[in-house]
Amino acid sequence: MGLELYLDLLSQPCRAVYIFAKKNRIPFELRTVDLLQGQNHSDEFVQVNPLRKVPALKDGDFTLAESVAILLYLARKYEAPDHWYPQDLQARARVDEYLSWQHTALRMSCTRAMWQKMMFPVFLGQRVPPETLANTLAELDRCLQLLEDKFLKDQDFLAGPHISVADLVAITELMHPVSAGCDIFKSRPKLAAWRQRVEAAVGEDLFREAHAVLMKAKDLPPADTAVKERLKPLAQLFL
Ligand SMILES: N[C@@H](CCC(=O)N[C@@H](CS)C(=O)NCC(=O)O)C(=O)O
């Protein structure tokens, strides 16, 4: 068996891996793991990733978790064009710097914004206190400012003049609040222009395809009681 990628495109790191693999014409079998149905807890998936999270990779007997590790494995194994993860010491360090930062900053505020604005009220039928949402959106705004000031600056892409895995990881995060109706680019022309450049570099069709599941999430039918119960521990992390 060749390369298998275990993904749910509702998940932002899965979309980054999916776009990277497709854009680089890396052949893979897509194994969809439906998180809302709890398929990440199935015996089959736990064999691949005991952490029970997507994305995950299986390449023959080799299994790998964590989106950053997966992106870098794919970049190295398939010798992706240098700009994705440059060989140059300092250019690579810039990409690494962003990948290290975003996990503890942008990631959580994008996830919280999407869940609090959309998944709780629409899917779980649970009210989110307005002050909780306001705090989340304020934190998101603070992270966006850091993204612009520290990483994007006056460059075309986050880690320099060319698109890299940092841009994929970032844009797939930012599309989370966008899907919930947060117009995060409206008052940020620099970031909006960057988004256009990333979409153009990825290809608009691939970008749309990767985000189709997410953009339809607002139309999900309300969860039944079993799904609500199963998602409770996870959902609490996003309040
Ligand atoms: N640090 C991990 C995070 C993976 C992660 O949190 N995946 C989420 C989806 S975005 C997941 O599988 N959640 C299921 C759960 O926690 O039950 C990565 O970057 O791959």
Other CB atoms within a 10 A radius of the CB of residue 224 amount to 8
Task: Tell me, yes or no, whether 151 and 220 share the same domain.
Answer: yes
**Is residue 174 a contact partner of residue 139, using CB atoms and an 8 Å limit?**
no
CATH code of 75's domain = 3.40.30.10
Residues 62 and 108 in one domain: no
Q: Around 190, how many Cα atoms within 13 Å sit in the side-chain half-sphere?
A: 14
Rg of the chain on CA atoms, in Å:
18
| DSSP string covering 29-78 | EEEE--TTTTGGGSHHHHHH-TT--S-EEEETTEEEESHHHHHHHHHHHT
> How many A from CA of 65 to the centre of ligand 1?
9
Report which residue type is found at 25.
Answer: R
Does residue 129 sit in the same domain as residue 153? yes
53 CA to middle of ligand 1, Å?
A: 4
Please tell me whether the overall predicted TM-score, pTM, comes out greater than 0.85 for this model: yes
Question: What is the extent of the structural domain holding 172?
Answer: 84-235
Cis before 55? omega within 30: yes
pLDDT of res. 119: 96
Mutating to test ligand 1, I would choose from 14, 40, 54, 98 the residue with most ligand atoms within 8 A of its C-beta, which is 54
Q: Are strands 56-59 and 3-7 parallel, antiparallel or unpaired?
A: antiparallel
d(CA 168, CA 173): 9
Regarding whether 116 and 39 lie in a shared domain, the answer is no
Give 178-211 pLDDT, tens digit per residue.
999 999 999 999 999 999 999 999 999 999 999 9
Ligand 1 atom 16 nearest Cα: 53
Residues 51-65 pLDDT 10s: 999 999 999 999 999
Per-residue pLDDT, averaged over 204-226, amounts to 96
24 and 96 in a common domain: no
Nearest atom within ligand 1 for CA of residue 70: 20
Q: Are residues 126 and 195 in the same domain?
A: yes
Mean pLDDT calculated for residue range 25-46: 97
Give pLDDT, residue 1: 81
Q: Which protein residue has the closest C-alpha to ligand 1 atom 3?
A: 66
Digit-coded pLDDT (tens) for 160-184:
999 999 999 999 999 999 999 999 9
Q: Relative to the CA of 11, which ligand 1 atom is closest?
A: 10
Q: Between helices 165-179 and 204-215, what is the axis angle to 10°? A: 40
Q: What angle do CA 133, 223, 228 make, to 5 degrees?
A: 75
How far from each other are the two terminal CA atoms of the chain, in whole angstroms? Answer: 41
pLDDT digits (tens, 9 = 90+) for 60-80: 999 999 999 999 999 999 999
- What is the sign of the dihedral through the CA atoms of 12, 17, 22 and 27? negative
Q: Are residues 223 and 128 in the same domain?
A: yes
User: From atom 12 of ligand 1, which residue's Cα is the shortest distance away?
Assistant: 53
- How many angstroms does the Cα of residue 54 sit away from the middle of ligand 1? 5
Pocket-forming residues, ligand 1, beta carbon under 6 Å: 11-13, 35, 40, 52-55, 66-67, 234
201 and 125 in a common domain: yes
The set of residues, in sequence order, having a beta carbon less than 8 Å from that of 224 and lying 6+ positions away, is none
Both tokens of residue 232? Answer: 């409770």
Q: Within 10 Å of residue 202's Cβ, how many Cβ atoms?
A: 20
- Please tell me the predicted confidence (pLDDT) of residue 118: 96
Which atom of ligand 1 approaches the CA of 55 most closely?
Answer: 20
The pick from 31, 53, 73 for probing ligand 1's pocket by mutation, whose C-beta has the most ligand atoms within 8 angstroms, reads 53
Pair (128, 211) in one structural domain:
yes
Domain count, the chain: 2
Of 30, 58, 81, which one is at a domain's C-terminal end? Answer: 81
Q: What is the CATH number of the domain that holds 138?
A: 1.20.1050.10
Same domain membership, residue 69 and residue 93:
no
**Average pLDDT in the chain:** 97
Helix (H, G, I), strand (E, B) or coil at 25: coil
Residue nearest to atom 10 of ligand 1 (CA): 11
pLDDT tens figures, 108-156: 999 999 999 999 999 999 999 999 999 999 999 999 999 999 999 999 9
| pLDDT on residue 164 | 98
Residues 50 and 95 occupy one common structural domain: no
Alpha-carbon dihedral 148, 152, 158, 163, rounded to 10 degrees: 120
Examine the fold and report which residue of 81, 98, 133 is the final residue of a domain before the chain moves on: 81
Which of 36, 63, 81 is the last residue in one of the domains? 81
Q: Are residues 181 and 117 in the same domain?
A: yes
Query: Which position has the token pair 């089959």?
Result: 44
pLDDT at 207: 98
